[in-house]
Structure 1
Amino acid sequence: MGKVIYVTGGARSGKSTYGEKIIFSSGKKRIYMATSIAFDDEMKSRVEKHKVQRGEDWITIESYKNLKSKLIEKSLGDEIILLDCLTNMVSNNMILEENINWDEVEQFKVDEVENKIKNELLEFLEYIEKSDHTLVVVSNELGMGLVPPYALGRYFRDICGRMNQIVAEKSQEAYFVISGIPMKIK
């Protein structure tokens, strides 16, 4: 039976570092599922810092979609997996996979995009639950700040919030990280 551990917090809260700590303490073979795309120098620098922080003893999967099939391609069976991060997965699926004017989008299209992301996530989590894997999901908590002043930001916040709820519900453990300090919430 697979296990899901959810780690959330604000930007630069230490959530990825805490997720990696969970992974390192497991003693299992490690898989890193990177959902971000380094479009600019700032993101390239962040990716490099994460690589150095993690070390080299990881299987890396770079993808924000088709997570189940990508994992099956690389997995040997009983690994511990770090998905970092769910927030990037959502944004890439919203922006890169869709050609939408988010300022003038109809609600049915927003629902369609969200359902596509939700189905991808549920399929992946159901696979994990039936496997021998442990999955650590890192995600930003976006609901504690200001309401974004533009439509895309509000849709993104709302969809991320609902995806975070799904992972939290399916998790056996959940942590909220503030200033590098993890608090167990489940």
Structure 2
Amino acid sequence: MANVPSLIFVTGGVRSGKSSFAERKALELAAETGGNLIYFATGVPSDVEMEERISKHQQDRAAGKYQWKTVEQSSDIGLRAVEFTKRDTILLDCVTTLLNNELFATETSWDNSFLESVKERIFNGITKIKEQSKTIIVVSNEVVYEPIHEKELVFTYGRLLGHIHRQLVKDADEAYLVEAGIPIMMKGMKA
């Protein structure tokens, strides 16, 4: 068995196929290592569209030949790390939703101290899960395709997400950008 990556980062635009690619990658790794498949969902069904997206993801996983275990945690994801073992392949979907949840969980002003604490909570959570599992695949969205300079709130969010993405790519064994359903390897070794 080849070296199994411990952190894989997958990003792309909205509806780019990144979650489907990440799920296929998780299935391949679990089949190779014989481990458990865990879908770590950060989404909160806040409106009809989100409810439909969550339901579709659940149906897609249920229809497959592999059994996924679903863990739901919308913020402070590190609290769930103790539930995982070194046999687990974990798909965390997604960082942008997690960031939203962390930022809007309280009425706190978005000063530098608060933003830094949010970033650290996300990194620490991913690191704790990575240390407890065989592999964690982290999915996120690219928002740099959208105009973010006009609104301070959106600019701050985009800048913070950019910092998170850079750190995740730095720490990742493999990193992919998915465009129109095609994964493009940004970092890692090709087989």
Range class of TM-score, shorter chain: 0.7 to 0.9
Q: CA deviation at 1:151?
A: 2.1
Q: Which runs of 5+ in 1 are unaligned?
A: none
**AA matched with 2:40:** M
Paired position in structure 2 for 1:23: 26
Deviates more, 1:110-119 or 1:24-33: 110-119
Please give the root-mean-square deviation of Cα atoms over the aligned residues, in Å: 1.9
Paired position in structure 2 for 1:49: 56
**AA matched with 2:62:** G
**Residue 106 (structure 2) aligned to one of 85, 98, 106:** 98
Cα distance between partner residues in 2 of 1:6 and 1:168: 6
The number of equivalent residue pairs is 177
Q: CA deviation at 1:131?
A: 3.6
Q: Secondary structure of the equivalent of 1:87?
A: helix
Q: CA deviation at 1:67?
A: 1.5
For the pair 1:5 / 2:15, whether they are aligned, the reply is no
Cα distance between partner residues in 2 of 1:177 and 1:184: 9
Q: 1:132 to 1:89 in 2, by over 3 A?
A: closer
**AA matched with 1:69:** L
Instruction: Spell out the pairing of 1:3-152 with structure 2 (5 A cutoff).
Output: 3-26=6-29, 27=31, 28-55=35-62, 57-72=67-82, 74-95=83-104, 97-100=105-108, 109-152=110-153
**AA matched with 1:98:** T
Asked if the contact 1:66/1:120 (under 8 Å) is kept, the reply is yes
Cα distance between partner residues in 1 of 2:172 and 2:92: 13
**AA matched with 1:7:** V
**AA matched with 2:173:** Q
Cα distance between partner residues in 1 of 2:56 and 2:163: 29
Q: CA deviation at 1:87?
A: 0.4
4+ runs deviating over 6 angstroms: none
Q: CA deviation at 1:113?
A: 2.5
Q: CA deviation at 1:52?
A: 1.1
Cα distance between partner residues in 2 of 1:66 and 1:166: 18
Asked if the contact 2:84/2:132 (under 8 Å) is kept, the reply is no
Q: CA deviation at 1:63?
A: 1.1
**AA matched with 2:106:** E
TM-score, normalization: structure 2? 0.85
Q: CA deviation at 1:123?
A: 1.6
Asked if the contact 2:42/2:94 (under 8 Å) is kept, the reply is yes
**AA matched with 2:152:** A
Asked if the contact 1:2/1:131 (under 8 Å) is kept, the reply is no
Asked if the contact 2:90/2:133 (under 8 Å) is kept, the reply is no
Asked if the contact 2:5/2:174 (under 8 Å) is kept, the reply is no
